[in-house]
Amino acid sequence: AVLAPLLRAVNQPSKILFFTKSSGYEHAVISWKDGKPSYAEKVLLELGAKNGWEFTFSKDGSLFSPEYLAQFDAVMFYTTGDLCSAGTDGNPPMTPEGKQALFDYVKSGHGFVGTHSASDTFHTANESQKGPDRYLNHGEEADPYVRFLGGEFIKHGKQQEATNTVTDPKFPGFGKVGPEYRFMEEWYSLKDFTPDIHVLSVIDAPSMEGVEYQRPRYPSTWARNEGKGHVFYTAMGHREDIWTNPVFQDILTGGLKWAMGDETAEVAPNLKEVAPDAYTNPPYVESAPPRKAPGK
């Protein structure tokens, strides 16, 4: 992937697939209305114009194949649920072969970037996700996608401001961020971190409100190598104002550049050093049953 820029023709734009199928919950920021690009897609078009990137926007999982993916320099996910089922949005699902094609594509030297609910995708043991198993670490038994991405979504509390400490200011996109960043956002509580991730920022969970954050600090943005390719993930991206925030745009732009090999970085595993208690998950609290209407 590091050599990718050398292989591109002069002035040829990098091609990125932004895939937003929602087999689970569909976020407003990536929802198509009246055939118009979503809010996130409009922002990406602006970033693409500044950086020489050409985006393809899709919700069609059936397109995933080695041949289809080969045209892109990177694939970017803002997805939910089991993408091998039609699910909430009813768009065509991936096949198991298409899912494997994604893994092979990245391993061969391409880039992958996940934003926000990319970690709420392909859950381990999908049928058990509404109970206590949601709060367990599965380690090597986790779904291959979870191992590939580097972590998995558990739950989120109310939107609130939270402090994220930068753990590698030298990584592309973090040079202007400073020692920490703090936003109002829907912050994901995450688990099952792949041991080889290179953590770029950790979230100060103990200072946050809600049982979902009753745990030590844990990674909120990271990078890892997958074969010859690169995987980057950030938990941010729920709110529209995050997508227009300069800090988020710097982090996302840096992640994309690194994923495609346009910029380089050392991504040695550092989870034990910067978030030694990250595998401690919040306590499971059974959800209250739905309220019945009066008189029923």
Tell me the CATH number at 136.
Answer: 3.40.50.880
> Distance between CA 142 and CA 17 in Å, rounded?
26
- Which carries the bigger pLDDT value, residue 249 or residue 133? 249
In a domain, 294, yes or no: no
Q: What is the DSSP letter of 38?
A: P
Quote the mean pLDDT of the chain.
93
The answer, yes or no, to whether residue 186 has pLDDT greater than 60, is: yes
Could you tell me how far CA 110 lies from the centroid of its own chain?
16
Count the residues in the chain.
296
Percent of the chain at pLDDT exceeding 70: 92
Q: Is the pLDDT of residue 29 over 70?
A: yes
Bridging pattern class, strands 218-226 and 180-185? unpaired
For residue 279, tell me if it sits in a domain. Answer: no
What domain range includes position 164?
4-274
pTM for the structure as a whole = 0.93
Total domains, the chain? 1
- Mean pLDDT for 220-241 is 98
Statement: residue 175 has pLDDT above 50: yes
284 located within any domain? no
Largest CA distance in the chain: 71
What is the percent of the chain where pLDDT is above 90?
Answer: 87
Residue 186 domain flag: yes
Please write the tens of the pLDDT for every residue from 188-216.
Answer: 999 999 999 999 999 999 999 999 999 99
Considering the domain boundaries, does residue 146 fall inside one?
yes
Mean pLDDT of 231-241: 98
The confidence score (pLDDT) of residue 132 equals 86
Please check whether residue 120 lies inside any domain of the structure.
Answer: yes
Residue 289 lies in a domain: no
Q: Taking the CA atoms of 234, 24, 63 and 13 in sequence, report the sign of the dihedral they define.
A: negative
Buried b (16+ CB within 10 A) or exposed e, 1-27: beebeeeeeeeeebbbbbbbbbbbebb
pLDDT of residue 34: 86
Q: Which residue has the tokens 């199928």?
A: 21
Whether 290 maps to a domain, the answer reads no
